[in-house]
Amino acid sequence: MNWYIGAVTAHPILMAIAQFSVLGTFGEIVSKWIVNKKVFMPFKFKMILWKMVVWTILAVTIKYAFAGFKGYVQALVEHDLLPEAAGTNRFFRAFVLSVFINMQFGVFLVVFHRALDNIVIKVKNWQGLDKGMLSMIWFWIPAHTITFMLQKEFQIGLAAIWSVALGILLGFFNKKQ
């Protein structure tokens, strides 16, 4: 694990990109496998590359949001707009951070992700966006609460792994009968 911590510390943006471009894209592929009940290549090579580019862009925004929202929550504590426990209690701090990041940045991220996906397929597909928004409540807030309880070096990696987990869950929810 020392090599991982060293790489994440030395190259935080590049490591976020590497993890999200691979795992985020893989999550979308696994979702298609589950929906269609078979392992196959659901996207053409060009589409896989595009999805990796999309996840690369998202990775950079997520990495900056993780850092920025930590400062945001700390500033709210310092200005007495959140209880002191949000700055000192590990679980409470992680939960508050997860709520703020998902309810503010998460909304943007869901819409931005869909907009980037729409560019390549040249379609205005906004169906199911409500499900993406709801996933912040039932999936991302609990998942990121766990994420933010970890030491900083493991947070982006776990967030990328969560994208595979969400792909699996969404695959089962959308499974063909």
Number of domains in the chain: 1
Interatomic CA distance for residues 87 and 74, integer angstroms: 6
Of 97-101, 126-130, 150-154, which gets the smallest average pLDDT? 126-130
Contacts of 164 (CB under 8 A, 6+ apart): 23, 24, 26, 27, 30
What is the pLDDT confidence band of residue 64, given thresholds at 50, 70 and 90? Answer: very high
Q: What is the pLDDT of residue 51?
A: 96
pLDDT digits (tens, 9 = 90+) for 96-119: 999 999 999 999 999 999 999 999
pLDDT at 175: 80
- Domain of 52, in residue numbers: 2-173
Comparing 175 with 46, the larger pLDDT belongs to 46
- CA dist., res. 101 & res. 95, Å (int): 10
Is the Cα torsion angle 154, 13, 23, 135 positive or negative in sign?
positive
pLDDT band at 128 (very low <50, low <70, confident <90, very high): confident
Residue 50's contacts (CB-CB under 8 Å, 6 or more residues apart) are 120
